[in-house]
Homo-oligomer: A and B are copies of this chain.
Amino acid sequence: MEAWDLVGIAAGSLTMFGFYPQIIKMYRTKLVGDLSLPMLLQYTTGIFLWLLYGIYLNNTILIVSNAVSLASFLCGIALYLKYNNKSRPADR
């Protein structure tokens, strides 16, 4: 394995778990009003298509990394929908 492969592995690891700090913050603070729902939906759709493409290519790295990302964005949408109503009753 070359040093450059470590760069690729580090890149994949960081972005695969990239949304988890946001999930933790949403869960702790219960505040989601400043997040963009279109951003969440766009990433979720895109990552789902990456996952399908990875399955088609039978590429384990694409499948695993996008499955992990997809889980975090689905959690993000669930937390957004749960707390966006509660924290902003005036918006209803």
Residues on A facing B (Cβ under 8 Å): 4, 7-8, 10-15, 17-22, 24-26, 29, 31-36, 38-39, 42-43, 45-47, 49-50, 52-53, 56
Contact = CB atoms under 8 A, between A and B. Distances in A.
B38 A21 contact: yes
Contacts of A22: 35-36, 39
A49 B10 contact: yes
Given A24-B36, A34-B25, A34-B33, A50 B11 contact: yes
A33 to B, nearest CB: 6
A47 B15 CA distance: 7
24 contacts: A4-B56, A7-B52, A7-B53, A8-B49, A8-B50, A10-B46, A10-B49, A11-B49, A12-B46, A13-B46, A14-B42, A14-B43, A14-B46, A15-B42, A15-B47, A15-B50, A18-B39, A19-B39, A21-B36, A21-B42, A22-B36, A22-B39, A25-B34, A34-B34
